[in-house]
Structure 1
Amino acid sequence: MPSFLPAGHPDCFELDHFYPVSTHPHLIDDEAGFRPSHKACNAATGNAAVSPMLGSLSEQW
């Protein structure tokens, strides 16, 4: 896959906010909540509640 894709391409990267801006507008500029996302993945997530990033733990820490 090329390292650069046009902005409208579903596989291009875009800025995602860990907490959706629509439900947490006060965090729009909080860099700690920024993460990269594919455009299509970000659109599919929408403003859904945040879920664990890595799934279930293999053991209790």
Structure 2
Amino acid sequence: MMGSYFPSWLIGIALGIPLAAGVRLLFIRAGIDDHLPLRLFIYACLAIIFALVFSFLFSPR
């Protein structure tokens, strides 16, 4: 943890989970959710991707 910017990834996680939930609602409305295999894995990966993108974009360099 030495040298990491703690608030950046913490905020990324806090925003990644609701964003993944929002994508899930969009998928349900579009009818895509019924055809997804391993839904939990897909939505967890989406939350991680959103968190990493936010962390990368807003971390101090």
Taking structure 1 as the reference length, what is the TM-score of the superposition?
A: 0.27
Higher strand proportion, which one? 1
Which structure features the higher share of helix residues?
2
With a CA cutoff of 8 Å and minimum separation of 6, indicate the structure with the bigger relative contact order: 2
Q: TM-score scaled to structure 2, two decimals? A: 0.27
